[in-house]
Structure 1
């Protein structure tokens, strides 16, 4: 089971769901936030790992494409030395791992479930951001996600 939620960081350091954020408090070019990602009972990403959340979602979408094409992908967070990796295993599983200094977390999950759940969560994030900002700012990312989900 995969639980995922996109959060934006408020000026006072709290985290709120995207549509609960005040657009006036956001820096559209440096969008601070976090992805809360739990896979099969293992907390992979949490609010302690906050960063530029729109960039991180874009990186994760690229990771999903790379996973589909080559069976492995990795990225660093936009502004932190945190490495996220996806590695295809036998039996349609993917090893998801994250390394943040001495904190290393790993879990395996069904590849189709991972791609579907993260793809849908990314799509929801970018759609919600377009709505919140009242712009069509993330149309390229949305086209990319649709392509990933059709594979």
Structure 2
């Protein structure tokens, strides 16, 4: 089982996307984390935070490269830190992907491609929808609406 949870960093506390109801203090740099667990193993911890408004689109780009572009390997870095996340399709093994996260120590874990795609794309959709609710002007929400449209395009490939 794969779970992907988003947390906002608010006054030093991690608050779940599901219960966070305040407008982010700085909409240009929304601090928070994305926690990834596979089969109960934490691959990415919520304590590893960065700018969610950049990190979620980076993850969507990675899924787009794997799903639509058919790339075998994708590397992304955290927006403001030297932290790397790799997704590698397993050669010779259908429907498996290796996830490698570089911080604080390198951790590698394998998962079913379809499960990973569904978990990340589903959580991205939840994040972008939530941002549309938390922000209140069309100028602020246009970016998130565009990202949500990309997520829906990727979902159509699943």
Aligned length: 148
Q: Which residue of 2 aligns with 1:82?
A: 83
- 1:1-49 CA deviation, whole Å, 9 max, x = no partner? 11111110112x10102242421x5200010000111012221111221
TM-score relative to the length of structure 1:
0.92
Gap runs ≥5 in structure 1: none
Q: Which residue of 2 aligns with 1:144?
A: 150
Rounded Cα–Cα distance in structure 2 between residues aligned with 1:139 and 1:31:
16
TM-score relative to the length of structure 2:
0.88
Q: Which residue of 2 aligns with 1:32?
A: 31
Q: Which residue of 2 aligns with 1:118?
A: 120
Could you say what secondary structure the match of 2:124 adopts? helix
Q: Does 1:127 align with 2:129?
A: yes
The answer on whether the counterparts of 1:34 and 1:50 sit within 8 Å (CA) in structure 2 is yes
Rounded Cα–Cα distance in structure 2 between residues aligned with 1:8 and 1:36:
11
The answer on whether the counterparts of 1:8 and 1:21 sit within 8 Å (CA) in structure 2 is no
Gap runs ≥5 in structure 2: none
The answer on whether the counterparts of 2:88 and 2:98 sit within 8 Å (CA) in structure 1 is yes
Greater helix proportion = 1
The answer on whether the counterparts of 1:76 and 1:82 sit within 8 Å (CA) in structure 2 is yes
